Amino acid sequence: MNYRHAFHAGNFADVLKHIVLTRILLYLQEKPAAFRVIDTHAGAGRYDLTSEEARRGGEWLTGIARVMQARFSDKALPLVAPYLDIVRAFNEGAELKAYPGSPLIVRALLRPQDRLTACELEPDARKQLVDALRRDTQARVVDLDGWTALTAFVPPKERRGLVLIDPPFEAGDEFARLARGFHGAFHKWPTGSYLLWYPVKNRRAADTLAREVAQAAKGARPAGKCLRLEFSVAPQEAGGPLTSSGLLMVNPPWTLQGQLKTILPELEKPLGQGGAGRFRLESPKP
């Protein structure tokens, strides 16, 4: 799978990932102690939705564009509004022209005492990210392979925080590397929170990853809790575009599962393609 994110920025997978990311960071804000976010595959930071790549992919039109126009219930709106407000802050007026990637969403939610370490190896993406975060004393862009960063930067000195692992899935062994990388990081920092993104094109690969991550979390001392979310906007066709993605949340906020049960049903209609989307939310078995 070749995942050049400029073609996919703002699609359904980004919407789901960034809503969850926002909810986790807002929970971390509830305690005054500082936290750190480590983004292992940070990307360019900001994506131009008027660019040739975005126009060619057009995936944001069935992702963030629909969600920005959706009507949410009184229960769901307060839960998605912080994410939508961040997206609006990168745009003037009602027209969507830009979409913030995970490091800029994180940066919008850092308090003065919090820090971001964003790793990006690809030169063009790294340059764009450096430009976006230039002279920012709370955010550091690191020219380091994300898999190396996983064990190099944990535990952080803050002892609280989140590791976001969102690889491009360009290599055939990316699922296995994700499982191994998480295991190594969690062994060093079992009290941290982790958010792992993966595409669902191969059911066996997705299920194996979830099982191995849950097993690693359960086997740690102290044992970690694991939550799995998958969202499908249409049936996945062989050789077709990605229509289903997943998130594994280890040591998630205790409030997150209930919040997602409120949010996800209200995303099925706006994100569905040719019909309503479908989601599954569960605690995976080791």
Which residues are the active-site residues?
A: 166
Separation between Cα atoms, residue 43 and residue 197, nearest integer Å: 14
